[in-house]
Structure 1
Amino acid sequence: MAAARRFVRRTLSDWDMEQVVDDAMLATSELATNAVTYAGTSFEVSCTLEEEGVRIEVLDRHPARQIAMPSLEATSGRGLPSIDRLAASWGVTYNGLTKGVWFRLPKTADPTPRRSERPAPPTGDAAPAPMGGEGGTRPRTGETSLDSAVATVRDMLDADGAAVLLADREGELVPGASTGAVSWPPPGRLTVAGLGPHARAGLPWTADASDPLAAALGAASLAAAPLQTQSGLLGVVAAVSAAPGRFDEAAGRRLGRIADELTLVLERARLGELERSWRGWLSFVAEASDLLAGTLDSERTMALVTQLVVPRLATWCAVYTVDEGGIVRPAYVWHADETRVDALRELLEAADAAPPLDSSGPWNGYAAAAPDAARAAAGSLAGDQAYAFPLVARRRRMGAMVIGRPAGERFPQGALDLAEELSRRAALAIDNARLYTAQTAMSSALQRSLLPPGIPDIPGLEVAVVYQPAGEGSEVGGDFYDVFACGDLSESAPASRWRFAIGDVCGTGPEAAAVTGLARHALRILAAEDMPVPDVLARLNRLILAEGERARLLTLLHGEITPLPGRAGVRIDLVSAGHPPPLVLDPGGTVREGAGAQPLLGVFEDVDFTLDTLELRSGQVMLCVTDGVTERRAGDRLLGDGEGLERLLAGCRGLSAGAVAARIQRAVRDFGPEPSNDDVALIVLRAS
């Protein structure tokens, strides 16, 4: 309170009117004391210097707490009666988060007579038109409009107090502004439907304490007028008195004229607020749609949904899904207070009841069906109110979105509308993510079936392979490789010969992968029949041509490995059908080609292939690559230009097969600044 007085003293330091400054400090101290005593919250003080005086307001954070109005004879709590005597005018303003008690003092040594000293206003229909007529005050929009309105009503009708109550979307009348002795009803007590027939008919009325509005405001007599527009009832303005029979029909008619002008101001403000609300709604929905469309992972989508809801629309949010057995369970839970997420999840999982999957509405089963131990561990969470929205997409019920708030914090209708719209978009995003996940899993399974099961051990030979398909999420592309045993593979006759293949199908993607599968499986089947390597390529050429329009050009390097007697190395019989020739590295660092060029597959029907034979002795290395290596681009240069690959291989002298493969792979990756857009495959054979 001392800090509030010092703030007012500093603000009014330039004023010469000491009595006015003292009155302002005294009134501010009384309001600050009331805020601490009755609201029980922190408070803020605002001091606005106006041309004619000063307006001081004390805002607390308990809008639902009623304003007490004790008498001046009371031994304590005389704040508001004192202000009624000190100030030229005072009142109360409300919004969803704060309550402000304000007063005005004129900048003069002889201020306007106090409320009790003012002359009685004119009576009857000859009274001057308030709020807009000559001598009246036309209110501005916002809080100033309501402040001016209640002050005008109180003065014009010589009332003990005046108030404006506004109708919310649920039809409840909530505090708008007040001045003087007004007792606000508890939240939820007064509704539009509970007003008398005059209000519903759009007519002003006067009444005694038996009237629902008078009883709610604690008045013995009342004059009231509805704030009626074509779109419905915005609220009601009322003058109250502690004396019975205080207002007559003329007072009601004067109040009706005030209500007509106030209605126009409020309707303009309402339309402006509605426009801002719609813009905010559209912005939120657009942002949510963009974020939900940005992920195709179902877990991330559900997490994103809850974090879009909290804390903008609710205190906590849970997404329920239906598993394969038809059981509805919480899949993701989020709370504005992260320390309470685990307790909320345990409470939801412990409850046997599931949210409804066919319609939106309040849901109380999440806590009622939970065991006592879970409810006790959850504390106040067990008393929260919840609202459920089904998640339905493409006529499939996938679960529900549940939002919650602490007990006593009602869900605004706007928040429910946004949550329902978000649930529809979330359902579609979750369904898309699930379909994508299922298709990706199926694609991965099919692609893995096209890869070799493993690299066999070949006596006297080190084998290393590298395979990198182009395209995000691809496991198989147009390049392929294989190393496998051939001939009689019975347990009594271990393998004595092996074959290898490395090929490149024209193009990338699923179509190229289909030809990859055809080639790799055909090579194994024909090798099992002991068909010679040239005949295998001729047969595969005819199979590709038989595909018709689906046929793809294929380059292939295929060979057979036979160990030489006495572990002296291996003999390799091979055919290079349109493929980059293999390179052989001697221990001395010399690099040479290991086979001649022959026609590629998928072009000509009758092609005769011939074998090239070479021997790998101890320390010699044979490198087989696809054009994803030789044609790796950096600007206008290719890695294979000017015997670039040969020089690269020559630098691998003395390395193992795995080390050679790793160095070539790193060189391909680092050759250009951009990632490669072609599949890369290579096989390294080194005689040990």
Structure 2
Amino acid sequence: MRTSAAAGKDGPVARTPARTPHATTGPGGADGPPTARTSLPGDARAPSAARRFVRTVLAGWNAHAVVTDDATLLVSELVTNAVVHAGTSVDLECRLDPAPGGSLVVEVTDHHPARELRARPRQGCGDRDGPAHGGQGLRLVAELAETWGTAYRRTDKTVWFHLPTSPAAHSTGTLSEQALLRDLRVAEILAPGAGEPAARRTGERGSSHRALSFLAEASELLAGQFDEDMVASLATQLAVPRLADWCAVWLDADGAPGPIRPVPRLARVWHARESRIEPLRLALQRTPPVLPAAGHAVPWPHGPSGRCGQDGTHRPDAPDGTALACRLVAGGRGIGTLLLGRSAPATMADDVACLVEDFARRVALALASARQYTRQATISRILQRGLLPRGVAEIPGVEKAVVYEPRGGASAGGDFYDVFGAGHGRWCFALGDVCGSGPEAAVTTGFVRPWLRLLAKEGYGVADVLNRLNRLLCEEAAEAAESGTSPRFLSLLHGELVPHAQGIRCTLASAGHPLPLLLRPDGTVRPAAAPQTLLGVVEDVGYGSETFDLTPGDTLLCVTDGVTERKSGNRLFDDGDGLATALAGCTGLTAEDVAGRIRRAVHGFSRTPLDDDLALLVLRAT
């Protein structure tokens, strides 16, 4: 049962959200009010995605500009708090309440019910959240929303709020005046010393609003960066000169903790004066920060003067002024250290230290995301190298060229190729495509290619190799069915080349694969094999092969369906024998030139990126 605490501007109210968000959308009407829902990742991308989602939804609902701005601001802060303090994915729901007067209802749900959305107070900063609410976002909600509340359940926690949508609620003044009033209310909430006399607070409002805009901009720029050095570079350039005169970022080694901890790497140094960047780098390399695993900003180096080393001794080469160091922590794990310095004053104000901590949390989340992406990309590259041959064999009297482009660049794919010596004057080649994509297809590729090599080197002919591979894959499919996993089928083009006095004897077979094309020196093109069934589908099928001679000038083109089924609108590249037409124009070209021309034709067929792995093998008799 849901336990809900609700509040309004004049005291408690009994209004609670009607439902929990789901990742769907609905137009409303007879089935209910207009509703939009989405789920967001629990990382630095979430606030930016939440802002775009709210603006898109409210634009479609023709919401008032002030409502849109307020909702976007509140959602951005609540989602940021949920990601930073709850550390889970976030569900977001927007709907129009059909009650008299009308209002926009927004719910932000995280999946960590035991933790409140509170910003941890630090000594000397004061409690920015006030006595009644938790988290900077909740203070904004309490001020800007008509009503709001929180709901705790066993598996999640929701913060919800209502914003009036009726024209009468926003009829005072022009849109620019309304926006100014809203900004002043927000600045009033965020201004340091909010309990002090209004005259003293007036000069601080603008800086507080700029701080909020700065954090929103930082989240926007850091989100989606896949390189940790780029994150470090952006962080220093965001901080200088808005937060400090200079900034540096150290990155911890990304590895399992051990008895010997690697020295942090000084990834980026930035100074408002370009001529001082290199001297500052040298000074900081001699005195790296040593901090506990905490997220609070602390003075650095220790002591009242920025020209003291960490041992308290005078350092004439140390940076002038004062500095704050803050550990970059994400998911409870230290990632690095952020250091910001000013030439003056001798100490930094508490509100600056609090802002540095908020900024550091965003930098840490962006670094954690970048490292996760890098780890996954590295695994994919290593796996891909293991799936492909380290080299292709040299065949007497045959030029060869290979083009292999997995979809997505470095990711492991289901296409593979091989050219190898099989002994006794025989060379074999293969081009295959596992049905499906991703790691599952790569696993099948990983055991098919060694099987194929082993069978060919044991002396089995082309047709016998396909028959035995088919039986092995059918056995794998039966085991997959028993375990509840999906079977993997394989299309394969396999051939054998034997040089002799009159040319190259070629024996090949195609099992569910795009047919190889043979280009003669006179420009004629014909299929070089007959179509047969995919491997791993029918156990008792018998495969056959075809034999012909490659004479000097003959070119054999073998491709995967990433070539033939390349799309441009409703057309495919091989519609109307498009591949044969492209190959006919390659008469007299070398194997490398044929491969390059076909590749360019495939890429140029559509403006969109490749949506499948692309592999082609060209063999030309010389």
**How far apart are 1:273 and its partner, in Å?**
5.6
Query: 2:418 aligns to what?
Result: 482
**Within the alignment, does 1:446 sit opposite 2:380 as a pair?**
no
Deviations 1:590-645 (A, max 9, x none): 11111111111121111111121111011111111112222222233322222222
Query: 1:500 aligns to what?
Result: 429
CA distance change for structure 1 residues 537 and 663 in 2, over 3 Å: closer, same or farther?
same
Task: Summarize the alignment of residues 660-671 of structure 1 with structure 2, pairs less than 5 Å apart.
Answer: 660-671=594-605
TM-score (norm 2): 0.62
Task: Summarize the alignment of residues 121-132 of structure 1 with structure 2, pairs less than 5 Å apart.
Answer: none
Q: Could you tell me how far apart the structure 1 residues matched to 2:348 and 2:207 are?
A: 16
Q: Could you tell me how far apart the structure 1 residues matched to 2:268 and 2:598 are?
A: 46
Deviations 1:2-35 (A, max 9, x none): xxxxxxxxxxxxxxxxxxxxxxxxxxxxxxxxxx
CA contact (8 A) 2:289 2:325 kept: no
2:290 to 350, 354, 361: 354
Task: Summarize the alignment of residues 186-265 of structure 1 with structure 2, pairs less than 5 Å apart.
Answer: none
Query: 2:61 aligns to what?
Result: none
Query: 1:392 aligns to what?
Result: 329
Query: 1:327 aligns to what?
Result: 263
CA contact (8 A) 1:351 1:371 kept: no
Task: Summarize the alignment of residues 159-198 of structure 1 with structure 2, pairs less than 5 Å apart.
Answer: none
Letter in 2 for 1:344: L
Q: Could you tell me how far apart the structure 2 residues matched to 1:635 and 1:383 are?
A: 62
**Within the alignment, does 1:550 sit opposite 2:486 as a pair?**
yes
2:588 to 654, 665, 668: 654
CA contact (8 A) 1:350 1:374 kept: no
Query: 1:677 aligns to what?
Result: 611
Q: Could you tell me how far apart the structure 1 residues matched to 2:426 and 2:496 are?
A: 7
Query: 1:617 aligns to what?
Result: 551
Query: 1:123 aligns to what?
Result: none
Partner-residue secondary structure (3-state), 2:448 = helix
2:463 to 534, 552, 561: 534
Partner-residue secondary structure (3-state), 2:553 = coil
**Within the alignment, does 1:282 sit opposite 2:212 as a pair?**
yes
Q: Could you tell me how far apart the structure 2 residues matched to 1:305 and 1:664 are?
A: 44
Q: Could you tell me how far apart the structure 2 residues matched to 1:643 and 1:676 are?
A: 20
**How far apart are 1:270 and its partner, in Å?**
4.8
Deviations 1:565-610 (A, max 9, x none): x2x2111111111112211111111111111111111211111111
Q: Could you tell me how far apart the structure 2 residues matched to 1:454 and 1:367 are?
A: 58
Query: 1:369 aligns to what?
Result: 309
Query: 2:528 aligns to what?
Result: 594
Larger relative contact order, structure 1 or 2 (CA cutoff 8 Å, min sep 6): 2
CA distance change for structure 1 residues 587 and 335 in 2, over 3 Å: closer, same or farther?
same
**How far apart are 1:403 and its partner, in Å?**
1.2
Query: 1:414 aligns to what?
Result: 351
Letter in 2 for 1:485: G
Partner-residue secondary structure (3-state), 1:504 = strand
1:603 to 521, 537, 542: 537
**How far apart are 1:551 and its partner, in Å?**
1.8
Q: Could you tell me how far apart the structure 2 residues matched to 1:413 and 1:509 are?
A: 50
CA distance change for structure 1 residues 674 and 280 in 2, over 3 Å: closer, same or farther?
same
Q: Could you tell me how far apart the structure 2 residues matched to 1:301 and 1:436 are?
A: 13
Deviations 1:112-171 (A, max 9, x none): xxxxxxxxxxxxxxxxxxxxxxxxxxxxxxxxxxxxxxxxxxxxxxxxxxxxxxxxx999
Q: Could you tell me how far apart the structure 1 residues matched to 2:561 and 2:335 are?
A: 47
Query: 1:637 aligns to what?
Result: 571
Q: Could you tell me how far apart the structure 2 residues matched to 1:482 and 1:659 are?
A: 20
**Within the alignment, does 1:628 sit opposite 2:562 as a pair?**
yes
Query: 1:312 aligns to what?
Result: 242
Query: 2:72 aligns to what?
Result: none
Query: 2:397 aligns to what?
Result: 460
2:360 to 423, 427, 442: 423
Q: Could you tell me how far apart the structure 1 residues matched to 2:203 and 2:321 are?
A: 30
Q: Could you tell me how far apart the structure 1 residues matched to 2:199 and 2:289 are?
A: 44
2:274 to 313, 317, 338: 338
**How far apart are 1:329 and its partner, in Å?**
4.7
CA distance change for structure 1 residues 484 and 616 in 2, over 3 Å: closer, same or farther?
same
Partner-residue secondary structure (3-state), 2:576 = helix
Structure 1: gaps (5+ residues): 1-168, 172-230, 236-262, 488-494
CA contact (8 A) 1:329 1:354 kept: no
- State the Cα RMSD in Å: 3.0
Task: Summarize the alignment of residues 287-306 of structure 1 with structure 2, pairs less than 5 Å apart.
Answer: 287-306=217-236
CA contact (8 A) 2:289 2:300 kept: no
Task: Summarize the alignment of residues 558-573 of structure 1 with structure 2, pairs less than 5 Å apart.
Answer: 558-564=494-500, 566=501, 568-573=502-507
Q: Could you tell me how far apart the structure 1 residues matched to 2:125 and 2:333 are?
A: 32
1:403 to 340, 344, 359: 340
Q: Could you tell me how far apart the structure 1 residues matched to 2:265 and 2:512 are?
A: 58
**How far apart are 1:662 and its partner, in Å?**
1.0
**How far apart are 1:370 and its partner, in Å?**
8.5
Q: Could you tell me how far apart the structure 1 residues matched to 2:202 and 2:250 are?
A: 38
**How far apart are 1:272 and its partner, in Å?**
5.5
CA contact (8 A) 2:420 2:429 kept: yes
**How far apart are 1:274 and its partner, in Å?**
5.8
Q: Which structure has the larger Rg?
A: 1
Partner-residue secondary structure (3-state), 2:608 = coil
Partner-residue secondary structure (3-state), 1:667 = helix
Letter in 2 for 1:290: E
Partner-residue secondary structure (3-state), 2:236 = helix
CA contact (8 A) 1:479 1:680 kept: yes
Letter in 2 for 1:301: V
Q: Could you tell me how far apart the structure 2 residues matched to 1:659 and 1:170 are?
A: 68
Deviations 1:276-335 (A, max 9, x none): 554333322222122221202111111111112111111111112334634245332111
CA contact (8 A) 1:478 1:513 kept: yes
CA distance change for structure 1 residues 411 and 578 in 2, over 3 Å: closer, same or farther?
same
Structure 2: gaps (5+ residues): 1-123, 127-188, 256-260
Deviations 1:409-462 (A, max 9, x none): 542322211101111222222222223212221221111110111111100111
2:198 to 253, 268, 284: 268
Q: Could you tell me how far apart the structure 2 residues matched to 1:339 and 1:281 are?
A: 28
